[in-house]
């Protein structure tokens, strides 16, 4: 897959472009001959990678995607060739304290994107990013398949399951008839990597504490998550958009992007690996009475591997090494963030071999 050729002269819309995944993708795609429009709410500069990334090819728009009229006006005027829809309230704990915001952004926002797509009169590829937490957590050891039951015990998980249901109903009743639109949803596991400073996430909370020589409090050491470097699912979204253009049979489908079942690891394992690459990293375990997360979560990504030829390439150890090295260089060596991002992207593309060709 030649990325320069695929993206040449493309107009790309990225919603949630100021978020963690969105910022990495904007920076990555800015390497090519593209024009990017980003739509998102404002962001906290202290907690955002966005302030450091390459914005030379970016049209930066700030508003709530729940504002349909404004969203429609911008999308119809821009006429994107490709859309990557990331915009979301992405934190489980925040969804419990502010469920209405979560439902509005994650459900209504997605419905608004779908409605705008149907009004476009251009050939457009769209990847709607939801979450691995869209599945009802039945603690399946085999990992969740794309046709498994959707659901959620917390507002965030429920909102992502709902977004998938909205997508399926909208596609089958409306978008399926629109020959100009090619669309699919993407469900990814937990991502880590340099530049995430979100609150109430494992790695960001750890590096903030360790950078100040503090010990980290851990509430769920035995919870398992499909950990992967942020570039892994981003490569999956890119592969999905590429194949949507080539393969009409995957239009309206959903794809998982996560590690192999035997690569799923506990929170404690990730912390122990982190201690290899961050000197004096310390943590202690405690129980939080009023907050509960599902303890077991695994994805099955065979569909993406077979149809899209996508594969996760970095081991968990290498993923943690890249992440901790990034933060070490940022906090201790005052490294240039753009150079850190390019270093990891270049390394990742080298490991991908012939799958991606710059």
pLDDT digits (tens, 9 = 90+) for 223-271: 888 899 999 999 999 999 999 999 999 999 999 999 887 788 889 999 9
The answer to whether the pTM exceeds 0.75 is yes
- What is the reported pLDDT for 220? 82
Indicate the helix (H) or strand (E) that contains 276: helix 267-277
- Domain of 16 in residue numbering reads as 3-352
Is residue 358 domain-resident? Answer: no
Residue 253 vs residue 294, higher pLDDT = 253
| Burial of 56: CB neighbours in 10 Å, binned 0-12, 13-18, 19+ | exposed
294 confidence band (pLDDT: 50, 70, 90): low
Is residue 238 domain-resident? Answer: yes
CA distances from 114 to 105, 124, 201, 241, 247 (A): 13, 12, 30, 16, 20
| Beta carbons of 273 and 192 less than 8 angstroms apart | no
Per the structure, the count of domains in the chain is 1
145 confidence band (pLDDT: 50, 70, 90): very high
| Beta carbons of 252 and 184 less than 8 angstroms apart | yes
* Cα–Cα distance for residue pair 158/274, rounded to 1 Å: 31
Is residue 235 domain-resident? Answer: yes
| Beta carbons of 331 and 323 less than 8 angstroms apart | no
| DSSP assignments along 50-112, one per residue | GGGS--TTEEEEES-TT-HHHHHHHHHHH--SEEEE--S---HHHHHH-HHHHHIIIIIHHHH
The per-residue pLDDT for range 98-141, each reduced to its tens digit, is 899 999 999 999 999 999 999 999 999 999 999 988 999 887 77
The per-residue pLDDT for range 159-197, each reduced to its tens digit, is 999 999 999 999 999 999 999 999 999 999 789 999 999
Range from 15-24, 41-50, 115-124, 164-173 carrying the lowest mean pLDDT: 41-50
Is residue 226 domain-resident? Answer: yes
- What is the reported pLDDT for 42? 77
- Size of the chain in residues: 358
40 confidence band (pLDDT: 50, 70, 90): very high
Please report, for the domain that includes residue 15, its CATH number: 3.40.50.720
Is residue 269 domain-resident? Answer: yes
- What is the reported pLDDT for 348? 96
Is residue 48 domain-resident? Answer: yes
**Cα–Cα nearest to 229, from 309, 323, 350:** 323
- What is the reported pLDDT for 190? 84
**Cα–Cα nearest to 115, from 102, 100, 128, 132:** 128
Is residue 357 domain-resident? Answer: no
| Beta carbons of 266 and 272 less than 8 angstroms apart | no
For residue 82, the cross-strand partners are 12, 125
| Beta carbons of 263 and 313 less than 8 angstroms apart | no
- What is the reported pLDDT for 288? 58
- What is the reported pLDDT for 210? 94
Instruction: Please determine, for residue 90, whether its predicted confidence score (pLDDT) is greater than 70.
Output: yes
Is residue 114 domain-resident? Answer: yes
Average pLDDT, the chain: 91
Longest distance between any two alpha carbons in the chain, whole Å:
58
* Cα–Cα distance for residue pair 243/182, rounded to 1 Å: 10
Instruction: Please determine, for residue 306, whether its predicted confidence score (pLDDT) is greater than 70.
Output: yes
Mean pLDDT, residues 18-33: 96
């Amino acid at each position: 897959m030649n990325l320069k050729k695929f993206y040449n002269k493309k107009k790309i819309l990225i919603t949630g472009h100021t978020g963690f995944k969105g910022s990495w993708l904007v920076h990555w795609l800015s390497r090519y001959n593209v024009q990017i429009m980003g739509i998102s709410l404002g962001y906290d500069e202290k907690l955002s990678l966005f302030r450091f990334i390459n914005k030379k090819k970016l049209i930066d728009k700030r508003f709530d995607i729940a504002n349909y009229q404004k969203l429609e006006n911008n999308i119809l005027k821009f006429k994107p060739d490709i859309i990557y829809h990331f915009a979301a309230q992405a934190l489980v704990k925040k969804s419990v304290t502010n469920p209405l915001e979560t439902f509005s952004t994650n459900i209504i926002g997605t419905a608004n994107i779908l409605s705008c797509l149907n009004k476009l009169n251009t050939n457009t590829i769209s990847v709607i990013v939801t979450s691995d937490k869209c599945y009802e957590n039945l603690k399946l050891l085999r990992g969740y398949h794309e046709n498994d039951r959707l659901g959620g015990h917390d507002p965030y998980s429920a909102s992502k399951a709902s977004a998938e249901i909205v997508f399926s109903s909208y596609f089958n009743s409306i978008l399926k008839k629109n020959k100009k639109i090619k669309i699919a949803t993407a469900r990814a596991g937990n991502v880590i990597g340099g530049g995430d400073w979100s609150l109430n996430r494992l790695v960001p909370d750890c590096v903030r504490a360790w950078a100040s020589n503090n010990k980290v409090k851990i509430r769920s050491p035995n919870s398992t998550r499909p950990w992967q470097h942020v570039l892994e699912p981003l490569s999956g979204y890119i592969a999905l958009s590429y194949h949507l253009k080539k393969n009409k049979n995957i239009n309206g489908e959903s794809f998982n992007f996560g590690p192999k079942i035997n690569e799923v690891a506990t929170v404690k394992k990730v912390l122990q690996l982190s201690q290899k690459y961050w000197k004096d990293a310390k943590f202690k375990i405690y129980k939080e009475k009023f907050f509960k997360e599902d303890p077991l979560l695994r994805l099955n990504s065979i569909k993406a591997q077979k149809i899209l030829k996508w594969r996760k390439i970095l081991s968990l150890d290498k993923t943690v090494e890249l992440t901790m090295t990034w933060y070490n260089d940022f906090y201790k060596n005052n490294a240039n963030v753009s150079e850190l991002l390019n270093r990891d992207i270049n390394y990742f593309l080298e490991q991908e071999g012939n799958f991606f060709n710059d």
